[in-house]
Copies of this chain bind each other. A is one copy, B any other.
Amino acid sequence: MMDNFKIKDAAGFRLSDHPTRVSLFDRKSNAKDKINEDGKVIADIAHRLYSEANRSVLIVLQGMDTSGKDSTTAAIFARTPPLNVTVAAFKAPSKTELAHDYLWRVHNVCPKAGQITVFNRSHYEDVLVVKVKGYKDATAIEQRYEQINAFEKHLSENGTTILKFMLNISKETQGERLRERLIEPGKRWKFNPGDLVDRALWPDFMDAYETMVQRTSTDHAPWHVIPSDSRTTRKAIITAIVRESLEAMNPQYPDPGYRIEDYEID
């Protein structure tokens, strides 16, 4: 699964080559069974990662409003206890955060050894919304791609496996979901009129996403571009990729070498 959605030719990446909808499962129930099965494996490996307490995992979820960042997080970790899983959601920076460089607040919440952290939005907003809205000039944005690559290389070299997902939805799907948010009582709290401002800038955002993937898909931290118009398919793909990545890490319960015969327990 991993290889189908991983961007290997960064320079040649064109967002328009990547569909927002794919047909991967014969039936919805097959996708749900797969999510469930993968979720159990993730829970088991996450516990071993916790016990190993040596390496860590950073999952970056980026996408337009309604692309499913929260519900993807819920799907991946439906079976995993919160012992070593945390979510960091990045909103507009505070005054204190703005007084520091843009990676300062990000570094602060990176996973420690044994932990898995999900970024719901991330430092990539600093080359997305910041670029589209012109909060920084072109030179500063240009520098940021390389700064981000260096930062992620640093994390990677220091034991963090980085998995980056762009949740790729169509403008039509976003329209449907925003209308749902205005109608369904359990979703209305998520609606924010500001989302419509970003929506009006859709082509600019897509350009910024394309450049982001081109410039920051690296060997140590590749982007995965995920067709996300179908909620179930999106969850199934990402959960499968997380499972495969954890399996590749293959953390083990450490054996500190203590033996029952070494201790007398009264």
Question: Could you say which residues of chain B place their CB within 8 Å of the CB of A193?
Answer: 258, 263
Question: Could you say which residues of chain B place their CB within 8 Å of the CB of A263?
Answer: 178, 182, 193, 196
* Contact bitstring A56-84, B, C-beta under 8 A = 1, else 0: 00000000000000100110011011111
Show the binding face of A for B, using Cβ within 8 Å: 51-52, 70, 73-74, 77-78, 80-87, 118, 175, 178-179, 182-183, 185-186, 188-191, 193, 196, 199, 253-256, 258-260, 263, 265-266
Question: Could you say which residues of chain B place their CB within 8 Å of the CB of A188?
Answer: 253-256, 258
Question: Could you say which residues of chain B place their CB within 8 Å of the CB of A83?
Answer: 70, 73-74, 87
Question: Are A256 and B196 closer than 8 Å at their CB atoms?
Answer: no
Q: Which of A81, A188, A259, A260 has the most CB of B within 10 A?
A: A81
Q: CA separation between A81 and B77, bound complex, in Å?
A: 6
Given contacts A82-B77, A82-B82, A253-B186, contact A258 B87 (CB under 8 A): no
> What are 13 A-to-B residue pairs whose CB atoms are below 8 Å?
A73-B81, A77-B81, A77-B82, A78-B81, A83-B87, A86-B86, A175-B266, A178-B263, A182-B263, A185-B253, A191-B256, A196-B265, A199-B265
A4 CB to closest chain B CB (Å) equals 26
Question: Are B82 and A258 closer than 8 Å at their CB atoms?
Answer: no
Q: Which residue of B lies closest to A175 (CB)?
A: B265
A244 CB to closest chain B CB (Å) equals 20
Q: Which of A83, A87, A190 has the most CB of B within 10 A?
A: A83
Question: Are A256 and B70 closer than 8 Å at their CB atoms?
Answer: no
Cross-chain contact of A260 among B87, B182, B259 (Cβ < 8 A): B182
Q: CA separation between A133 and B136, bound complex, in Å?
A: 55
Question: Could you say which residues of chain B place their CB within 8 Å of the CB of A260?
Answer: 179, 182-183
A236 CB to closest chain B CB (Å) equals 16
A21 CB to closest chain B CB (Å) equals 20
Question: Are A255 and B185 closer than 8 Å at their CB atoms?
Answer: yes
Q: Which residue of B lies closest to A71 (CB)?
A: B81
Question: Are B255 and A189 closer than 8 Å at their CB atoms?
Answer: yes
Given contacts A191-B258, A253-B186, contact A74 B78 (CB under 8 A): no
A182 CB to closest chain B CB (Å) equals 4
Question: Could you say which residues of chain B place their CB within 8 Å of the CB of A199?
Answer: 265
Question: Are B86 and A81 closer than 8 Å at their CB atoms?
Answer: no
Question: Are A82 and B118 closer than 8 Å at their CB atoms?
Answer: yes
Question: Are A256 and B183 closer than 8 Å at their CB atoms?
Answer: no
Identify the 7 closest CB pairs spanning chains A and B, nearest first. A74-B81, A182-B260, A51-B189, A82-B85, A189-B254, A82-B82, A178-B265
